[in-house]
């Protein structure tokens, strides 16, 4: 059994705690970052707190033995002060109360030595199937890409819903389109999958759309249209 201490009570920590609790190779103890005085020793201590708190939590674990890792997509590995350190970053958006299938989630792993990297691989594979050796710089760029494909895309869903709500159209009508677009890029590149008036340079449709948007929506529409046309 690999003993793991998980520090944190947020979305990432709670989902990892549930997954590790069901894993046969992991003995897990989940603790609150506010109570670090008497946490047990472990093979791996996972700091799953907000990015700004990682260095502070690590500083409170100065004399701790074992491997110390964090789960952030952007914070450098060196934010951890211990000699044995690493990153255990599950590349997924975690929402409170939502069911998470870790078998489909890629883990981005980094460590200061090969043996610790192999240990993180074992832990990742105890709850998932995909793991990648990713450097700090690669992880930062990957997180940036994830913001575009996840956070920004979700904001587009919200704009679409706002338009539907304004005109009393059920947003669920768009669900099959959203699902088909997401499924499509599993087989072809996003550039090949691109459709719509910007791709076709359908000027009249573009002008008609702009007339039906508020000023903020127009700015977004024009910027993305231009980006599509120049890509």
Tokens, residue 19? 């997954």
Instruction: Give pTM, 2 decimals.
Output: 0.84
Kindly report the CATH number that applies to the domain delimited by 140-230.
Answer: 1.10.1040.20
Distances (CA, A) of 197 to 5, 168, 217: 52, 24, 16
- In 56-204 the beta strands, taken as DSSP E runs, fall at 67-70, 85-90, 106-111, 130-133
pLDDT value at position 39?
85
Digit-coded pLDDT (tens) for 4-52 = 999 998 899 999 999 999 999 999 998 887 778 888 889 999 999 999 9
Summarize pLDDT for 84-141 with one digit per residue, the tens: 999 999 999 888 878 888 888 999 999 999 999 999 999 999 999 899 999 999 999 9
> Architecture of 2-133 per CATH?
3-Layer(aba) Sandwich (3.40)
pLDDT in tens, 58-86: 998 878 889 999 999 999 999 998 889 99
What residue ranges do the domains of the chain occupy? 2-133, 140-230
Residue 168: which pLDDT band, with cuts at 50, 70 and 90?
A: very high
Residues whose CB falls within 8 Å of the CB of residue 193, separated by 6 or more in sequence, listed in order: 181, 184, 185
Are 48 and 90 in contact by the 8 Å Cβ rule? The answer is no
Residue given tokens 């890409």 in the structure block:
145
Tell me the mean pLDDT in the region 134-160.
95
Distance CA 130, CA 27 (A): 21
């Amino acid at each position: 059994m690999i003993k793991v201490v998980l520090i944190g009570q947020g979305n990432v920590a709670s989902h990892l705690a549930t997954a590790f609790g069901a894993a046969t190779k992991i003995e897990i103890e989940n603790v609150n970052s506010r109570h670090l005085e008497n946490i047990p020793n472990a093979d791996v201590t996972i700091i799953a707190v907000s990015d700004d708190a990682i260095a502070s939590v690590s500083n409170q674990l100065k004399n701790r033995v074992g491997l110390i890792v964090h789960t952030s997509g952007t914070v450098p590995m060196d934010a951890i002060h211990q000699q044995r350190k690493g990153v255990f970053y599950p590349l997924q958006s975690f929402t409170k109360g939502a069911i998470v299938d870790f078998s489909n989630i890629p883990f981005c792993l980094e460590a200061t030595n090969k043996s610790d990297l192999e240990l993180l691989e074992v832990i990742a594979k105890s709850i998932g199937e995909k793991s990648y050796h990713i450097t700090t710089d690669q992880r930062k760029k990957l997180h940036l890409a994830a913001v575009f494909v996840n956070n920004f895309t979700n904001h587009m869903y919200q704009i679409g819903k706002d338009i539907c709500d304004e005109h009393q159209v059920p947003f669920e009508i768009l669900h099959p389109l959203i699902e088909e677009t997401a499924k499509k890029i599993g087989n072809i590149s996003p550039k090949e999958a691109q459709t719509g008036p910007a791709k076709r340079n359908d000027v009249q449709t573009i002008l008609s759309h702009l007339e039906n948007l508020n000023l903020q929506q127009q700015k977004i529409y024009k910027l993305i249209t231009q980006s599509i046309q120049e890509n």
